[in-house]
Structure 1
């Protein structure tokens, strides 16, 4: 695996842990959570089951908290073994957006209309985190990556793309194309079980 691939993979993992932590806090009754040593693993299993199996899971949570704190999404209270993480107002808004993205589903019609939905985006390097978040959303929504910035889905998903465009402030940086056909799409049809 190349250096860029490795760096991209690490960023994606970090973002997944941070998003999971924000959603866990958001879904907690009082929008706050007390983390004690035994509770850290329980929280990790909820965020990312694979992460809980790795070395130093508590340290990874603390890293994610520091990153979220630097972005102004959470604030930390207390020190030592017992500390609390509270979502800020900005963090609550961020969690609400994450929740909306999670709920938007691409509905599969009874019959495929034979058209491909192609998403093409161009996000500058200085907005790398936005680009990674976009890729993460597309991957979770079931898109197939043709190239780094070209993703394909067989079913209508304009609502999701409109939300992403507005939420990530992409404007004309993201295009939604409905294509009658794609050259050599046999592997895509197999991937989406369309044959």
Structure 2
């Protein structure tokens, strides 16, 4: 369903189209919440505003955008909106969960016909106060297929800058993440075996 929305748009157009970008962000934020908060169920709860806009207070324009997006998703029967303890709780419906999963899984690292011999290295130093986001980022890097070289150092032989930075932006940890392209890594034979190079 959502793949059809993006099919005829360039990457630039998707980034400029705030409504579609926000819809995508909300779905992925809820999908990540379902995995981490309620792994035993189809729909997990999450404070969407924090995950979509970060920890800063929402401005009136952001609130309006978020409200329109949430009710659009509700009209498509992709999410439920329920009031609990004077707060709105957003949950994915079963169709919404599958749509969000397809969207999330679309972020895969493409394998080129021939490796260029260079390593893509991701390093990060995320504060202890953001421990949950740090663990989530590690989980996502592993899901993307990166290899854990050391505790906060991950590597992949193929270009993955776009995917890594997208994930970092989604979790609001972009300032703590660095992306390095290197010609060699000490002990890279283990990585070559890991990626069958």
Q: Distance in 1 between matches of 2:112 and 2:174?
A: 28
Match of 2:173? 170
Q: Distance in 1 between matches of 2:34 and 2:138?
A: 11
- Alignment match of 1:18 (pick from 37, 55, 58): 37
Q: CA deviation at 1:21?
A: 6.7
Structure 1 residues without counterparts, runs of 5 or longer: 1-13, 34-68, 76-85
Q: TM-score under structure 2 normalisation?
A: 0.54
Match of 1:30? 77
**Cα distance 1:99–1:131, how it changes in 2: closer, same or farther (>3 A)?**
farther
Say what the alpha-carbon RMSD is for the aligned residues.
Answer: 3.6
Q: CA deviation at 1:102?
A: 2.6
SS of match in other structure, 1:178: strand
- Alignment match of 1:159 (pick from 129, 152, 162): 162
**Cα distance 1:130–1:74, how it changes in 2: closer, same or farther (>3 A)?**
same
Residue 121, structure 1, aligned to residue 124, structure 2: yes
Cα contact 2:165–2:174 (8 A) shared by 1: no
Cα contact 2:141–2:164 (8 A) shared by 1: no
**Cα distance 1:127–1:164, how it changes in 2: closer, same or farther (>3 A)?**
same
- Alignment match of 1:103 (pick from 87, 98, 106): 106
Q: CA deviation at 1:18?
A: 2.9
Structure 2 residues without counterparts, runs of 5 or longer: 1-32, 45-72
Residue 148, structure 1, aligned to residue 195, structure 2: no
Q: Deviations over 1:159-187 (max 9, x none)?
A: 10221222111232000101111111001
Q: Distance in 2 between matches of 1:113 and 1:146?
A: 20
SS of match in other structure, 2:37: helix
Aligned length: 128
